[in-house]
Amino acid sequence: MKDRTILNLITLFSMSGWSLLFRRKGEIKDWFLIYLFKTLVATLLDSPVINKKYVLYPNRYFPKIFDSNIVFLYIIFPLLCVIYNQFTYKMKPVKTILSVFLFSTPMTLFENWLEKNTSLVRYRKGWNSFFTFSVLTVTFWMVRLLIAWVRFLSKKQKSAID
């Protein structure tokens, strides 16, 4: 299968996942906040990695405008973070911490497969799957902590008003 076809299929599949943002009623604002914050975090972390040429995306959309893979940064990564937060919404902290591996491990394995079998991703200068796995895991946790903090502040503010 050609790289462009794989990229198009990944794009279509991930965009169809946007309906998951509305899966739970009542928390839609949380899900959008998570989506946007994850996009910001991914952009801030990806830019230096791309500029230092640790990771390259030889076959991507809008190569004259973006050095990064916008499908990963702005659709897949944030969407999976929303799904992770929905999945762990009512979990106790230890389960929440451990559940991240259900998301970061398959993402890492898939990116590793893409790196070895396509020209969609290229690791260079010592970058490897462990770095990808670590960044994915830590950013999932960061966003989960942020939304927990936002919910805490919101609840505190609401009780102060009542």
pLDDT in tens, 137-158: 999 999 999 999 998 998 888 8
Alpha helices in 1-128 (DSSP H): 3-16, 28-51, 70-71, 77-87, 93-99, 101-117
In the beta sheet, which residues pair with residue 122? 56
Kindly report, residue by residue over 113-139, the tens digit of the pLDDT: 999 999 999 999 889 999 999 999 999
DSSP letter assigned to residue 53: T
Asked whether residue 95 carries a pLDDT value surpassing 90, the answer given is yes
In the chain, how many domains are there? 1
36 Cβ contact list (under 8 Å, min separation 6): 78
Residue ranges making up the domain that contains 138: 3-161
The alpha carbon of 109 is separated from its chain's Cα centroid by a whole number of angstroms, namely: 14
What is the C-alpha to C-alpha distance for residues 148 and 108, in angstroms, rounded to an integer?
Answer: 25
